[in-house]
Amino acid sequence: IRDEESGYDKNLFCIPKHYEEDLERVFIPHGLILDRTERLARDIMQDMGSHHIVALCVLKGGYKFFADLLDHIKALNQNGDKSVPITMDFVRIKSYC
């Protein structure tokens, strides 16, 4: 997304009431994020070949993206020609000290 990108009018989206006054525009629609997440999963599966995948999620902020990404990887794993073993784990990191 370029710096001069104006985004999308918030009236094009279903915005929760408690965010309506705080939100001016939407820069990245949810569908675009889902599409890019699926593409990332495809790239990971292609790059990893038949190697074991070890997925590590940084809690708390990354769990939703992590879950979506792994869902796409699992779907590709089930519907593909080969099955790649996947191990997942979680870490909690203290930041912004």
Question: pLDDT digit string (tens) for 52-66?
Answer: 999 999 887 788 899
- In a domain, residue 87? The reply is yes
- In a domain, residue 36? The reply is yes
- In a domain, residue 40? The reply is yes
d(CA 20, CA 44): 36
pLDDT digits (tens, 9 = 90+) for 2-20: 777 788 888 888 888 898 8
Which of 20, 23, 19, 22 minimizes the C-alpha distance to 7? Answer: 23
- What pLDDT shows up at residue 1? 63
* DSSP string computed for 20-59: TTT--EESS-HHHHHHHHHHHHHHHHHHHTTSPEEEEEEE
- In a domain, residue 66? The reply is yes
- Cβ-Cβ contacts under 8 Å for 51 (sequence gap 6 or more): 84
Average pLDDT over residues 15-30: 86
- What pLDDT shows up at residue 95? 67
Domain extent, residue 83, equals 30-92
- What pLDDT shows up at residue 71? 94
Q: For the chain, give the percent of residues with pLDDT over 90.
A: 32
- In a domain, residue 52? The reply is yes
- In a domain, residue 24? The reply is no
Label the pairing between strands 25-26 and 8-9.
antiparallel
Count of structural domains, the chain: 1
- In a domain, residue 16? The reply is no
Q: pTM of the full predicted structure?
A: 0.70
- In a domain, residue 2? The reply is no
pLDDT at 39 over 80: yes
Largest CA distance in the chain: 49
Distance set, CA 15 to CA 22, 26, 52, 70, 78 (Å): 10, 10, 40, 27, 35
